[in-house]
Structure 1
Amino acid sequence: MAESSVVRDTRAAYDAVATLYAELFSDVLETLPLERALLAAFAELVLAHDAGPVADLGCGPGHVTAHLHALGLSTFGVDVSPEMVALARRAHPHLRFDEGSMTGLDVADGVLGGILAFFSTIHTPPPELPAVFAEFRRVLAPGGHLLLGFLAGDDPRPREADHKVTLAYRWSPDSLAKPLREAGFAELGRVLREPHDGERFRSGYLLVRQHQEH
């Protein structure tokens, strides 16, 4: 798939703030007990299914990739920003980090046991999101798990969000669950968290599993 202008713009935006972003967020999980619990549940499900490694897509400086590794998962990170990838490699030299885009992953069909996409699809224009979910389905093994973090809203249609780095979108859980279902995923659970101090939007999480049969 040809690279879109959105991907190029997102790469440039995150390259520009990579060092600051890493300074602000590399230890953020220490203040997020609900997210740690979700990641632990995700790791337990992936390990129980034993279908392959986990890709942390939109890994940024690699802090969540490292957290998943500490939970016992074989994991690697992918990010569209080469500056983020460089920071992740420097901070976590024992782990693998690759530059890449969610619209065309350099991953073989059906080899992943899990995908973590923590707020990494939020910059994808709504019409392009089904293609991203189709790519997730392609690389996941049958029965593989996906944990998706997103900016949550109430409107039945996705709405633009004034993100501090670059244009993003807010989705209601129901409106985001629909394209996931159409891509061949079965929902296992969802969580909404109200904003913490300094946050402007609610955080949403959808945990889904690819159907066993293609």
Structure 2
Amino acid sequence: MTFDAVRAAYGSRVAEYVEAVGEVEHVPDDDRRRILEWATGVTGPVLDVGSGPGQWTDLLRRAGVDIEGVEPVPEFVAQARRLYPDSRYHEGRAERLDAPDASLGGILAWYSLIHTDPEAIDPPLAEFARALAPGGSLLVGFFTGARLEPFEHAVVTAYYWPAKQLAGRIESAGFTIDAVHVRFDPGVAPGPGSRPQAIVVATRTA
């Protein structure tokens, strides 16, 4: 799946996406608490990479975080600026962040790499490492599973990553892994029909 195809797929379904999952209230309380605790503990500016309709960027800004949203889908950028005019957003992509070397304190990549082909995952991780200062923090949210494999996401093909496998790729990009959390959606029992999700938190090594 190409970058342009993913961007076009999301661009054609912005209103539907916002209604389904485009508000922080759609996120489980534990995830919201974990991201708030992570972001408010970061020293320095933060980028919300793949910021979508802007809900995380605005929530964290209101919590006192120096944050800007970066989003490849122009329709999402326009929507975020309308919904959250006090927050900052610009068009960009994970592989080419508009940030000087070692200039960031944190990067939030909340489900923004789930459509990236596994063969192409290293360039965005390397870009995160380039932009983060030593000691800077990365938080990545994604779908996890026993095997690295594609699945039919509601918008466009996405990938399950074994949590330890993606953590290993992050580590190889220049990070120390601080924590790996795996969870199931509330009320959904583990099994073939469930979609377990994971969070990796990592620190940029010197």
For 2:31 and 2:195, locate their aligned partners in 1 and report how far apart those are by CA, in whole Å: 15
Counterpart of 2:204 (choices 190, 210, 213) is 210
Give the one of 117, 125, 136 matched to 2:117. Answer: 125
Q: Match of 2:127, SS?
A: helix
Q: Specify which of 185, 189, 210 is matched with residue 179 of structure 2.
A: 189
Deviation at 1:56, TM superposition (A): 0.4
Aligned 8 A contact 2:24 2:32 in 1: no
Percent identity over the alignment is 36
**Mapped partners of 1:184, 1:121: distance in 2:** 18
Aligned partners of 1:95, 1:28: CA distance in 2, in Å? 15
Shift of 1:23: 2.1
Which segment drifts farther, 83-92 or 104-113? 104-113
Q: Is the 8 A contact 1:45 1:145 kept in 2?
A: no
Task: Specify every segment of 5 or more residues in structure 2 that has no aligned partner in the other structure, as ranges.
Answer: none
Give, in angstroms, the shift of residue 32 of structure 1: 1.2
Q: 2:108 aligns with which of 85, 104, 116?
A: 116
- Count matched residues: 202
The residue correspondences of 1:60-209 to structure 2 (distance < 5 A) are 60-155=52-147, 158-196=148-186, 200-209=194-203
Q: Distance in 2 between matches of 1:30 and 1:171?
A: 23
Q: Do 1:43 and 1:72's aligned partners in 2 also have CA atoms closer than 8 Å?
A: no
Q: Distance in 2 between matches of 1:204 and 1:138?
A: 24
C-alpha deviation, 1:76, in angstroms: 0.6
TM-score, normalised to structure 1, is 0.89
Instruction: Give CA-to-partner distance per residue, 1:119-169, whole Å, 9 cap, x none.
Output: 0000110111111100000111111001100001012xx210210111111
Decide whether aligned partners of structure 1 residues 85 and 185 sit closer, same or farther in structure 2, where only a CA change above 3 A counts: same
Q: Which moved more, 1:129-138 or 1:22-31?
A: 22-31
Rounded Cα–Cα distance in structure 2 between residues aligned with 1:161 and 1:30: 22
Letter in 2 for 1:41: E
